[in-house]
């Protein structure tokens, strides 16, 4: 006899429909799985037979062939246990229910018939929704958010018997809300503990970081040791708006695929890899590619402290994802693309000893050492930073008595959220100014003739690249959004030039 059941396969974050075809006929007891299964899929036949026997089903005297279609795609993991078991029962006429083609099954089986969560469960569910699946049977996983889709029913099951009973109409499976009552509260992250109000001084740097948060702009902070670069970076997530439901599901999917504990629900991720991290751990990869730090920072922040200590090869690997918002990893077994749209915060010293240009400490570095240290950041990589900040130590005596002037992260975040709302409404999608395509930016916010002339003259005078000019326009658009202006103002362009090219004075630009 023959049966067909739908499941979902994964290729990175992308999913594809897998048809589990089961054929059984009288013969020697055997189960054969074809369709490029990996070791975990091949071993599923032992788990399935044990689970069926624990429920009273005994497929004796049957030769069973299982085909996982499409046959040219590698099938990996234990997520096909549940659909294979349902297909086997259907081919043996132990399950009389008619299973529609738009019903999918995902889950691993224990020997006693319990349905267990699997790696990549959330991306599989999101892929099923994209593929037009109307009902999905999945195991409950307390690490996942509650999934409420208008066009797809999610049926949470605890055992194979639950699935059989629900398909046959003999039993009712508890709704998702009953399961999620057991879910523990989210954990706090370390980034939540630092508020902008706790940081003394650095008012100009805080204002620049507000602009970066509002528009999704990359920031390079340079300054001597102990001047507050890391403190500002660790407080930066506190002014970012909360993730939307769609963004949250995307972030959690990446964390599931990488087998890393995901951050608190709704909080933008903050990744801080050490400078000894390898290029593979930063970018992603491996024999079977996994997401790296840049993908784990998707919709959040990647902080590279002491960026000058990272290897030059690793840093240059960041150029593509900084520009495209994604990373493509090619290996012998697969070519996979992961999203990597993040805000890059980088901090570095001006020289190896850290005190070049300081009035308080003597610099022990030679000009050659300083030049070599600065050249660890290549020109193309430096060109991708929207904001360049030069920090100096805080004069605590001058800041005494100014506690009331320091704004809280909540107040700053409110302005950032309003600026983001303007951008999303203007572009019709969740695209910040730092990521918007140039043609869309110019279509929605055209420059005046005088503004175009000013930027063209600056481009020729300073030898700036076209990329730098576009970044200045994007920065100006964000500054205008924070001001509530419909158009890009002259003042916002002036401010954007100062942030991107801090060495230029107003007189050298606006003559």
CATH of the domain at 83: 3.30.230.10
pLDDT at residue 299, rounded to an integer: 94
- For 497, half-sphere exposure in the C-beta direction (CA atoms, 13 angstrom radius) is 22
Give the pTM: 0.86
- In a shared domain, residues 364 and 232: yes
pLDDT at residue 439, rounded to an integer: 94
Joined together, the tokens standing for residue 253 give: 């999917």
In a domain, residue 406? The reply is yes
pLDDT at residue 347, rounded to an integer: 94
Q: Of 159, 180, 201, which one is at a domain's C-terminal end?
A: 180
- In a shared domain, residues 130 and 162: yes
The 3-state secondary structure of 80-133 reads CHHHHHHHHHHHCCCCCCCCCCCEEECCEECCCCEEECCCCHHHHHHHHHHCCC
The CA distance from 357 to 346, in Å, is 20
pLDDT one-digit tens code per residue, 66-112: 999 998 888 888 999 999 999 999 988 888 888 999 999 999 999 99
- In a shared domain, residues 18 and 41: yes
3 state DSSP class of 135: strand
Q: Is the pLDDT at 306 greater than 70, yes or no?
A: yes
CATH of the domain at 367: 3.40.50.300
CATH of the domain at 498: 1.10.8
The CA distance from 349 to 222, in Å, is 6
pLDDT at residue 265, rounded to an integer: 67
pLDDT one-digit tens code per residue, 472-498: 999 999 999 999 999 999 999 999 999
Three-point CA angle 235, 284, 471, nearest 5°: 55
In a domain, residue 185? The reply is no
Phi and psi at residue 229, to the nearest 5°: -65, -50
Give the model's confidence band at 172: pLDDT under 50 very low, under 70 low, under 90 confident, else very high.
Answer: low
Give the model's confidence band at 394: pLDDT under 50 very low, under 70 low, under 90 confident, else very high.
Answer: confident
The CA distance from 391 to 202, in Å, is 8
| Mean pLDDT in residue range 359-371 | 86
pLDDT at residue 175, rounded to an integer: 47
- In a shared domain, residues 175 and 194: no
Q: Is the pLDDT at 185 greater than 70, yes or no?
A: no
The CA distance from 163 to 210, in Å, is 50
Q: Is the pLDDT at 184 greater than 50, yes or no?
A: no
Specify the number of domains making up the chain.
3
Q: Is the pLDDT at 190 greater than 70, yes or no?
A: no
Q: Is the pLDDT at 189 greater than 50, yes or no?
A: no
Q: Which of 274-278, 380-384, 401-405 has the lowest mean pLDDT?
A: 401-405
The CA distance from 132 to 157, in Å, is 21
- In a shared domain, residues 350 and 204: yes
What percent of the chain is predicted at pLDDT more than 70? Answer: 92
pLDDT at residue 510, rounded to an integer: 44
pLDDT at residue 201, rounded to an integer: 83
Strand ranges in 324-368 using DSSP code E only, listed in sequence order: 326-330, 335-339, 343-348
User: Which is higher by pLDDT, 460 or 499?
Assistant: 499
Q: Which residue has the tokens 């303007």?
A: 422
CB within 8 A of 28, min separation 6: which ones?
A: 63
Helix axes 245-258, 121-130, angle to 10 degrees: 130
| Mean pLDDT in residue range 369-375 | 88
- In a shared domain, residues 95 and 36: yes
User: Which is higher by pLDDT, 509 or 149?
Assistant: 149
* Pick from 166, 174, 169, 134: nearest CA to 151: 134
pLDDT at residue 171, rounded to an integer: 66
pLDDT at residue 173, rounded to an integer: 60
Q: Peptide bond before 379: cis, by omega within 30 degrees of 0?
A: no
The CA distance from 270 to 189, in Å, is 9
Give the model's confidence band at 310: pLDDT under 50 very low, under 70 low, under 90 confident, else very high.
Answer: very high
Residues 119 and 257 sit within 8 Å (Cβ to Cβ): yes
The CA distance from 493 to 498, in Å, is 9
Q: Of 180, 200, 235, which one is at a domain's C-terminal end?
A: 180
Strand ranges in 124-261 using DSSP code E only, listed in sequence order: 135-139, 153-157, 219-222
Residues 429 and 437 sit within 8 Å (Cβ to Cβ): no
CB within 8 A of 186, min separation 6: which ones?
A: 264, 265, 266
Q: Is the pLDDT at 160 greater than 70, yes or no?
A: yes
Residues 9 and 73 sit within 8 Å (Cβ to Cβ): yes
- In a shared domain, residues 443 and 490: yes
- In a shared domain, residues 48 and 151: yes
- In a shared domain, residues 165 and 250: no
H or E stretch covering 279: helix 279-283
- For 354, half-sphere exposure in the C-beta direction (CA atoms, 13 angstrom radius) is 17
In a domain, residue 77? The reply is yes
Helix axes 466-483, 203-215, angle to 10 degrees: 100
- In a shared domain, residues 200 and 224: yes
For residue 400, count other CB atoms closer than 10 A to its CB.
9
* Pick from 76, 102, 67: nearest CA to 10: 76
The CA distance from 474 to 445, in Å, is 10
Q: Is the pLDDT at 417 greater than 90, yes or no?
A: yes
Of 68-82, 147-161, 178-192, 415-429, which has the strongest mean pLDDT? Answer: 415-429
Residues 472 and 509 sit within 8 Å (Cβ to Cβ): no
| Mean pLDDT in residue range 177-186 | 47
CA distances from 437 to 322, 488, 511 (A): 13, 16, 30
For residue 464, count other CB atoms closer than 10 A to its CB.
18
Domain of residue 298, residue span: 190-411
What is the residue-averaged pLDDT of the chain? 87
- How far, in whole angstroms, is CA 379 from its chain's centroid? 26
* Pick from 239, 224, 228, 238: nearest CA to 205: 228
Give the model's confidence band at 295: pLDDT under 50 very low, under 70 low, under 90 confident, else very high.
Answer: very high
Pairing of β 103-105 and β 135-139: parallel
- In a shared domain, residues 156 and 271: no
């Amino acid at each position: 006899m023959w049966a067909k059941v739908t499941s979902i396969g994964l290729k990175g974050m992308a999913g594809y429909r897998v048809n589990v075809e089961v054929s059984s006929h009288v013969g020697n007891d055997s189960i054969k799985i074809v369709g490029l299964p990996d070791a975990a899929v091949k071993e599923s036949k032992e788990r399935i037979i044990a689970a069926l026997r624990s429920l009273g089903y005994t497929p004796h005297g049957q030769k069973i062939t299982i085909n996982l279609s499409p046959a040219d795609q590698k099938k990996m993991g234990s997520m096909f246990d549940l659909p294979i078991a349902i297909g086997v029962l259907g081919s043996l006429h132990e399950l009389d229910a008619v299973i529609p083609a738009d019903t999918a099954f995902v889950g691993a089986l224990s020997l006693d018939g319990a349905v267990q969560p699997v790696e990549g469960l959330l991306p599989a569910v999101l892929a099923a929704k994209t593929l037009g699946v109307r009902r999905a049977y999945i195991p409950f996983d307390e690490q996942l958010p509650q999934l409420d889709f208008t066009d797809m029913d999610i049926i949470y099951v605890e055992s194979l018997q639950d699935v059989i009973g629900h398909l046959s109409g003999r039993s009712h499976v508890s709704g998702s809300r009953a399961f999620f009552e057991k879910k523990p509260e989210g954990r706090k992250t370390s980034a939540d503990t630092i508020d902008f109000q706790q940081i003394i001084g650095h008012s100009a740097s805080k204002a620049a970081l507000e602009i970066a948060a509002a528009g999704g702009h990359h920031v390079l902070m340079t300054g001597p040791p102990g001047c507050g670069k890391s403190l500002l970076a660790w407080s930066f997530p506190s002014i970012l708006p909360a993730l939307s439901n769609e963004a949250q599901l995307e972030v959690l999917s990446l964390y599931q695929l990488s087998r890393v504990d995901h951050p608190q629900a709704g909080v933008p991720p903050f990744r801080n890899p050490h400078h000894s991290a390898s290029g593979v751990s930063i970018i992603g990869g491996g024999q079977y590619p996994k997401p790296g730090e840049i993908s784990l920072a998707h919709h959040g922040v990647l902080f590279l402290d002491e960026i000058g200590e990272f290897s030059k090869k690793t840093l240059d690997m960041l150029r593509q994802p900084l520009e495209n918002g994604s990373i493509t990893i090619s290996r012998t077994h697969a070519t996979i693309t992961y999203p990597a749209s993040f805000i890059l915060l980088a901090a570095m010293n001006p020289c190896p000893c850290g005190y070049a240009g300081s009035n308080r400490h003597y610099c022990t570095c030679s000009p050659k050492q300083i030049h070599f240290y600065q050249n660890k950041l290549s020109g193309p990589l430096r060109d991708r930073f929207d904001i360049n900040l030069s920090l100096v130590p805080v004069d605590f005596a001058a800041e005494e008595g100014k506690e009331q002037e320091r704004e809280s992260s909540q107040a700053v975040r409110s302005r950032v959220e309003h600026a983001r709302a303007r951008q999303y409404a203007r572009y019709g999608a969740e695209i910040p100014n730092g990521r918007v395509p140039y043609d869309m930016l110019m279509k929605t916010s055209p420059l005046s003739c005088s503004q175009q002339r000013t930027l063209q003259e600056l481009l020729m005078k300073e030898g700036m690249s076209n990329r730098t000019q576009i970044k200045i326009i994007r920065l100006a658009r964000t500054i205008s959004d924070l001001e509530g202006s419909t158009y890009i103002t002259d003042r916002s362009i002036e401010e954007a030039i100062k942030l991107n090219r801090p060495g230029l004075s107003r007189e050298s630009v606006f003559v």
